[in-house]
Amino acid sequence: MINKERKPTAIERFLLHIHPNKIDAEAIKFTKTFGLGGISALLFVLLAISGILLRFTYVPTPESAYDSIIFLQEKILFGRLLRNIHHFSATIMVVTSFLHLIRTYYSQSLYFERSKNWIYGLLLMFLVLFSNFTGYLLPWDQLAYWAVTIMTNMLEYIPIMGDLLANMFRGGDMVNGVTLLNFYNLHTGVLPLFFVFFMSMHFWLVRKAKGVIVSESTEKEMVSVFPNLVVKEIMLALIVLAAIFLLSIFIDAPLLDKASITISPNPSKAPWYFMGVQELLLHIHPVFAVFVIPVAMLSLFFYLPYFKYSKVNIGVWFNSKIGKSLTIISVLFSFIFTLIVILISEYIIDFSSWVPKLPLLISTGLFPVLIFLIPTAGFLYYWYKVKNTGFVETVMSLVTIIITSYIVMMAVGVWFRGEGMNLIF
């Protein structure tokens, strides 16, 4: 607690801008947030520092980019460690940002005055992915070049504006030196500025909402932020930093041969966090895989706080006991059903030949989507109407099915797709 007889230090004044003077004791329990938001913010700082240092040796041209990475790793003192730290911090930030987002959702912390912060959180998640994607190309090796080629080619399937968007990102009709320079400027200049702005807004809205939300049924016991919360944050930060440094010492960031336009690896894969989209492309029409389904899912996630819910238990994980049970059942349903659909599409049904007289947009697009949607709708209807599950829990079940399905497709694409993108076991 700050002594009233002395002025707070500069550090204390700064911390009081992002924390209230007193906070509910329930809110500082580790299991309320798992420190995921703080970890993501720490990783951004670590990425900014390591990224600035990497700029001293990196040359953003096709002729020199790869060689500058080799020079960094072999000639610069601690250069390999520095690159490893940057790589693993970026990778872990994707995971922690995603976990922070779903923690916010499942703990019912996105409604009413916090709905605006949910939107900022989604925008920050997109920035994390886009920053990772733009940084993915910079080593200019085979892995980076062909992953970005695949992803930018996917943009061409977007109706009307696809070619325009793909050429805008690439700076032409293929990944080249202009693409590298564009990605470098976005990664090191433009996107960090957006990060600072949206993170500032995100933290300010958390501060305005008086910190982490807790259950309204919990009896409030207010404690001082100093040292009750701050010490825990410092300890968690030290643990995270130690883990990243140890990881970076013993494991190297991937680096394949220098990028070649004429020789593509087999298989060529998108970055791991976009592998769910590439897996989806193997089963349904590209317009549905790249445009219709992503737009529908993003619209749902942006609108989540604004549905007319009948009963929301703010700060209660899964909203209720039945919500927790239904979430577990939804994970199992989606996991099993998604695998079944993948295997059916892979080995049993060729939709283009199954209904050859119909346009491909219907036979390979609408039909496969309906095969997934109809059983899912039946599952949700059963729980909502027959089991009288609340609307909040039913929407949560739908979100759980979507998230689990994407994770399954991502895992299949990353670990179970071999040469020619065929399934391997």
pLDDT in tens, the chain (425 residues): 444 555 666 665 665 666 667 777 777 788 788 889 999 999 999 999 999 999 999 999 999 999 999 999 999 999 999 999 999 999 999 999 999 999 999 999 899 888 999 999 999 999 999 999 999 999 999 999 999 999 999 999 999 899 999 999 898 889 999 999 999 999 999 999 999 999 999 988 887 776 677 666 556 677 777 777 788 889 999 999 999 999 999 999 999 999 998 888 889 999 999 999 999 999 999 999 999 999 999 999 999 999 988 888 888 899 999 999 999 999 999 999 999 999 988 887 766 666 667 787 887 888 888 888 999 999 999 999 999 999 999 999 999 999 999 999 999 999 999 998 999 87
Phi-psi region of 210 (alpha: psi -120 to 50; beta: other; left: phi over 0): left
The residue assigned the tokens 């990783």 is: 43
Q: Work out the number of other CB atoms within 10 angstroms of the CB of residue 236.
A: 16
Q: Work out the number of other CB atoms within 10 angstroms of the CB of residue 7.
A: 10
196 in Cβ contact with 330 (< 8 Å): no
Which is nearest to 28 in space by CA: 207, 203, 229, 211? Answer: 229
CA distances in angstroms from 168 to 152, 189, 192, 295, 320, listed in the order given: 10, 18, 20, 20, 47
Spell out the residues 6+ positions from residue 224 whose beta carbon is closer than 8 angstroms to its own: 1, 2, 21, 22, 23
What is the structure's pLDDT at 183?
Answer: 96
The token duo for 388 is 């009288």
Domains along the sequence of the chain with CATH: 10-264 (1.20.810.10), 266-425 (no CATH)
Which is nearest to 29 in space by CA: 207, 212, 195, 201? Answer: 212
CA distance 196 to 198: 6
225 in Cβ contact with 130 (< 8 Å): no
The token duo for 151 is 């992803």
Q: Work out the number of other CB atoms within 10 angstroms of the CB of residue 92.
A: 18
Q: Backbone phi, then psi, for 256, in 5-degree steps?
A: -90, -165
Burial of 96 (0-12, 13-18, 19+ CB in 10 A): buried
Q: Work out the number of other CB atoms within 10 angstroms of the CB of residue 112.
A: 11
258 in Cβ contact with 55 (< 8 Å): no
